[in-house]
Chains A and B, each alone.
Chain A
Amino acid sequence: MTAMEMSAGAAKRRGAGGWRWSGRIFLLLLLGFTVMPMIWMFITSLKTGFAAMQYPPQWWPAEPTLENYWRLIDPSGNVGRDFIQYFWNSIWVSTLTTILAVVVAVPAAYAFSRFRFPGRNFLFFAVLLRNMFPAVVFLVPLFILMKALGLVNTHGSLILTYLTFGLPLAIWLLKGFYDNIPVQLEQAARIDGATRFQAFLLIVMPLSTPGIIATSIYSFIGAWNEYIYAYTFLTRHDQMTLPVGIQRFFSENATDWPGLMAATFMMSIPVVVLFLVLQRYFVRALTEGAVKH
């Protein structure tokens, strides 16, 4: 190897190293950009009402307190009682929405993936069409529909509404996943005597677990965070979900910032836990669904 070639190689390595470091710095900045609001949210939740209003702000509270969290989980107080109720309402609505979305989306996506029938492409497009409009466009029509069905002020109105948003995405995600499972596996099972349903249940379902989990996470997060429909359809306190319920930290002339931040932090815990526990499947689902074998 000539000296010139060695020098060129070193320059190339230096260049690659430079790019690598630039990438790391960029990622670090990106991480800071996304994590900082959460850190600030947590720090504010440890402050007293007065400390939260200091200007310039206290980066770490002089007198940190967990009082705001105790208020939220103490069922003997008004705040705790309501917060726990909102929390369970959110869990109930999000879980039921997720289960129903998966139960409907799995066979629907499978049918779109495996069967050839007249109008298949049109139907698939029609399913996706719903998600091409902003959610607020459907607010009034859905309210009128829910009113006609007698579902205003019930969790049923939210679950049905969230399904109309979540299902198209779930079907689309799962279809991509089923498309990547070789049909020969099912054919082999059929040759071995399995019915189509057994082949689906015993061969396709286990292989599509990551896709189902990813779909569930999407559905759950969508329902968990939804605000505008819950705000419109529910007026009763005992029915409210967390995104609407935490409005109580705002009053006419003031905001309880530490209480609001503590409630928001608590609200983010289930989603974070869900994501951490299932992220392995989630990443697999995204990558496998993205590549055609």
Chain B
Amino acid sequence: MHTNTGRRLLGLSMAVLSAATMLTTATTASYAQSVDLSKWSPEYVKSIAGTKQFDAAKDCGAVVPNDYTGSVSYWYTGPFEADPQIAHDQDKAFWEAFKAAYPNITTEVQSITYNELLDKFRTSLLGNSAPAVIRLQILGGVEFAAKGYLQPLKPEDIGLTAADFWPGALKSVTYEGVTYGLPTNNETMALIWNAKVFKDAGLDPENPPATWDDVVAYSKTIHEKLGIPGYGLVAKQNAGNTPFRFMPQLWAYGGGALDEASAEPGYKDVWINNEGSKKALQAAYQMYAVDKSVPTSALTNTQGENQAPFIAGKLGMMIAHPAEYAKMNDLASKATGTDKTVADEVVANMRYGLIPTGPDGKRAVVFGGSNIHVVKPEFVQGGKVDEQAVKALICFWDSPEWSTKLAWVGSNPGNVNGFLTDAMKERLDTIKFLDVTTSMLPNGIPFPVIPQAPEIMNIIVPDMLQNALTGSMTVDQAVEDAATKVKAIVDGGGGI
């Protein structure tokens, strides 16, 4: 009995001590702030790349000694079979480098697919078998922070400062004023178009539509001249791809779901029925129902259904992830014989451009990426979290070097100092259009950082689109219906 009590006290003392250490660690690895986000442009990104050297092992060694002995369990979405080879190589290199830097920290790592990770994490939390550390999609964490599963985690805990991250990215991990995670990588989508289709339709093959009104016009022209869909509209219900592609249009016209596009969002004001939102929905309606210049299957399409027609030259343009080009390049490199010829031609005709602006010149895109979080010990397998090992792993992952390398094909470093690294320079030299997709970052807007965001974005917004496009409601009715629903769940009538 006494022994057990003693053990409990000892365990408690160690937990308190390690938690206190975590919160008070000196920021010895802090990087001098040499990235000026206010100057952001493709030229600026190129000019700073490769200008500074970092040593992750040394920098993190100042936060957690390199000879520290401990263990950490970690879940993330690593590279899988459909990802380009370089993503696999960088992932492997990271774990080898971490092992070399921290030879006495044992890691229990699981790579779980993007579509499964949230469900599996929810299940593991219920079963008290969660990992100590998890990397989730950008807004995945807010649900768990709201439910009390996550520990506070701020940049200073791993020797960084808030200035080392995009403000929008830090906003995505802040719930009710507390930071519950750190951004590991951030990306924004861009407009991708097929230069050959544009040329055949009599449009400028080297320049994308400048505004969303131009998108409507270009789409109509392509459809009329070539008989193929011009713009790859995506409007499937309960699908994440729908808001990722429609919200940029909504924001550009001055709309929003809540006030997430404002400078100081409070996530209380409902914008989904304002004039901007109506105009954006009207533009989508024009393309789908009036001009019929988008795929007729748009109502059930996720982005996947647009890929094959785009590659085959049967679709003019679409909103695409930065990884799209890298993926096509990888497929082309593995193609053989006659397939190789066709694949090379497809790659040669791919173009990336900035997301179009609204009528007032407003350009907006969803701020994407991932964040890393620490789970409270009571929900972790074994009931313990080795705070020092956790900090070592997060520090290493979020170092300028590895934050860049681990986001090689489809994203950008969450730690903005990554833009200074040699790795970033190599990426810019080898990944075509990276400067374009990277330059969209300042236009990134995170979805509302509230637990109800998935319901608003994945259910209410697509429903609004469907109601208008199918003609079951007028545009005005659809936005009012959506506004009523958004208000109801924000006021506490729904949500997760």
- Which residues of A have CB within 8 Å of B335? 48-51, 63
| Per-position binary interface string of chain A over residues 176-191, scored 1 when its CB falls under 8 Å from any chain B CB and 0 otherwise | 0000000000000000
A53 and B123 contact, CB distance less than 8 A: no
Pick the residue among A147, A153, A256 that contacts B82 (CB under 8 A).
Answer: A256
Known: A143-B123, A247-B113. A53 touches B83 (CB 8 A): no
Pick the residue among B79, B309, B332, B339 that contacts A251 (CB under 8 A).
Answer: B79
- Give the A interface residue count (CB, 8 A): 35
- How far is A50 from B113 in the complex, measured between Cα atoms in Å? 22
Interface stretch among B207-215, B323-331, B469-477? B323-331
- How far is A162 from B112 in the complex, measured between Cα atoms in Å? 24
- How far is A256 from B83 in the complex, measured between Cα atoms in Å? 8
B331 and A63 contact, CB distance less than 8 A: no
Contact size class for B? 35 or more
A249 and B81 contact, CB distance less than 8 A: yes
Known: A63-B338, A63-B339, A237-B110. A256 touches B81 (CB 8 A): yes
- How far is A56 from B312 in the complex, measured between Cα atoms in Å? 8
Q: Does B304 contact A (CB under 8 A)?
A: yes
Q: How many A-B residue pairs have CB under 8 A?
A: 115
- Which residues of B have CB within 8 Å of A65? 336
Q: Does A252 contact B (CB under 8 A)?
A: yes
- How far is A50 from B343 in the complex, measured between Cα atoms in Å? 7
B314 and A55 contact, CB distance less than 8 A: yes
Q: Does A108 contact B (CB under 8 A)?
A: no
| Per-position binary interface string of chain B over residues 79-92, scored 1 when its CB falls under 8 Å from any chain A CB and 0 otherwise | 11111000010000
| Per-position binary interface string of chain A over residues 33-54, scored 1 when its CB falls under 8 Å from any chain B CB and 0 otherwise | 0000000000000001111011
A55 and B308 contact, CB distance less than 8 A: yes
A259 and B337 contact, CB distance less than 8 A: no
Q: Does A199 contact B (CB under 8 A)?
A: no
- Which residues of A have CB within 8 Å of B338? 62-63
- Which residues of B have CB within 8 Å of A236? 110
| Per-position binary interface string of chain B over residues 367-410, scored 1 when its CB falls under 8 Å from any chain A CB and 0 otherwise | 00000000000000000000000000000000000000000001
Q: Does A248 contact B (CB under 8 A)?
A: yes
Closest chain A residue, CB of each to CB of B370: A252
Q: Give 6 new A-B contacts, CB below 8 A, not counting A250-B80, A253-B323.
A: A56-B312, A63-B335, A65-B336, A250-B115, A251-B82, A252-B323
Interface residues of A (CB under 8 A from B): 48-51, 53-56, 62-63, 65, 78-79, 143, 147, 152-153, 231-233, 235-237, 247-256, 259-260
- Which residues of B have CB within 8 Å of A260? 81
Known: A54-B311, A55-B314, A143-B126. A62 touches B337 (CB 8 A): yes
17 A-B pairs whose Cβ atoms sit less than 8 Å apart in the complex: A48-B336, A48-B339, A49-B331, A55-B314, A65-B336, A143-B127, A152-B127, A235-B123, A235-B124, A251-B83, A251-B113, A252-B114, A252-B323, A253-B327, A254-B82, A254-B83, A254-B307
- Which residues of A have CB within 8 Å of B324? 253
- How far is A147 from B323 in the complex, measured between Cα atoms in Å? 39
Q: Does B334 contact A (CB under 8 A)?
A: yes
- How far is A55 from B323 in the complex, measured between Cα atoms in Å? 21
- How far is A54 from B123 in the complex, measured between Cα atoms in Å? 38
Known: A50-B332, A62-B337, A231-B116. A249 touches B80 (CB 8 A): yes
